[in-house]
Amino acid sequence: MAQIHGFPAIADNNARILILGTMPGKASLHAGQYYANERNAFWGIIAALYGVPASAPYGERGATLRTAGIALWDVLRSCRRESSLDADIVAESIVPNDIAGFLFDHPAVRCVYFNGSTAESLYRKYVWQQLGAQSRRLPHVRLPSTSPAHACMRPAAKLRHWSVIKDAA
């Protein structure tokens, strides 16, 4: 099983919120795009909140995030994982992203949101100790996973929870 590597952040210097996933799934890695699995609710939620069609070109969707003050990244830079499931991540293979450095370089970020509980728990385990006092004081909010594996919550309920990002940005 080979080490897989995530993507650079979608961000600019105006980012006011940071959304962190865990690690792109197989469809995303193959496409070279965040949340490329068409069953993942992320881009549908962004479409509902910001008006960019989920079917719009990837660059346009990324530009919409940047315009809205949203940065998008993952907690993990690389890991080994057989499937797309977070539960299959091999703990000994985890290499976190430099989120402390990101937050230092993006001082306008005022809230960190997690796309699901695994992103939050990996952040707490691998990133929290690297953060400066100011970054630790930021609100950190777990949102329901947009993954199709988190099917116990209906899309409308996910959208209600995720609507907090629009007010925060």
Domains within the chain, CATH numbers bracketed: 3-168 (3.40.470.10)
Residue 44 has pLDDT above 80, yes or no: yes
Evaluate if residue 89 carries a pLDDT over 90: no
Report pLDDT for 147. 86
Span 42-59, average pLDDT: 96
Angle ∠(169,37,26) on CA atoms, nearest 5: 110
Q: Give the position of tokens 């008006």.
A: 51
2, 8, 79, 123 from 39: Cα distances, Å: 25, 22, 23, 25
What pLDDT does 152 receive?
Answer: 72
| Catalytic residue list contains 37 | no
pTM score of the predicted model: 0.94
pLDDT higher at 155 or 95: 95
pLDDT 10s digits, 98-116: 999 999 999 999 999 999 9
User: Is 86 a residue whose pLDDT tops 90?
Assistant: no
Residue 163 reports pLDDT greater than 80:
yes
Q: Which of 13, 14, 37, 40 is catalytic?
A: 40
What number of CA atoms fall less than 13 Å from residue 19's CA on the CB side?
A: 28
Question: In this model, does residue 85 exceed pLDDT 70?
Answer: no
Report the distance separating Cα 33 and Cα 14, nearest Å.
Answer: 21
Strand runs labelled E in the chain? 3-5, 17-21, 70-74, 76-80, 95-96, 111-115, 140-143
pLDDT score, position 1: 72
Average pLDDT over residues 110-136: 94
pLDDT tens string 134-159? 898 999 999 999 987 656 778 889 99
Which has the closest alpha carbon to 99: 24, 29, 20? 20
